[in-house]
Amino acid sequence: MIPREWLVAHFTLFRIALFLCSLGYCLVGYFWFKPKGREFPQSVMAVWTQMSIGNLMDGAVISMGYWAYWPMPFSLRGIPLDLHLDWGLIWGFFLVWLYSKLRRYWRGPLFVLIYLSIWTLVTVLFDAAVARQMLFLSGADPHWWVADIVFLFVVQSITLMVYHTGLFPSPRPFWRSLACRIRSVLYVGTLAYVFYGYLPRLVLSLTHQENIRPLLDMRNPLLFCALAALPIALGTWATLAFTDIGFGTPLPLDPPRRLITTGPYAYVRNPMQIAGMLLALLLPLQYPSPYIWFYLLDMGLVSIVLFKIFEQGELEDRFTKEYALYSEAVRNWIPRRAPYHP
Q: Output the DSSP codes for 260-292.
A: --SGGGGT-S-HHHHHHHHHHTTHHHHS--HHH
Q: Is the pLDDT of residue 74 over 60?
A: yes
pLDDT in tens, 234-273: 999 999 999 999 999 998 889 898 899 999 999 999 999 8
User: Which of 109, 134, 167 is at the close of a domain?
Assistant: 167
Which pTM does this prediction carry?
Answer: 0.89
The pLDDT of residue 2 is 64
| Closest to 201 measured CA to CA, from 189, 223, 218 | 218
User: Which of 143, 167, 191 is at the close of a domain?
Assistant: 167
The pLDDT of residue 217 is 80
| Residue 341 in domain | no
pLDDT in tens, 7-38: 677 788 888 998 999 999 999 999 999 999 89
What is the domain extent for residue 311? 183-329
Q: Are residues 218 and 119 in the same domain?
A: no
How many residues in the chain?
A: 342
Q: Are residues 226 and 154 in the same domain?
A: no
User: Which of 119, 135, 167 is at the close of a domain?
Assistant: 167
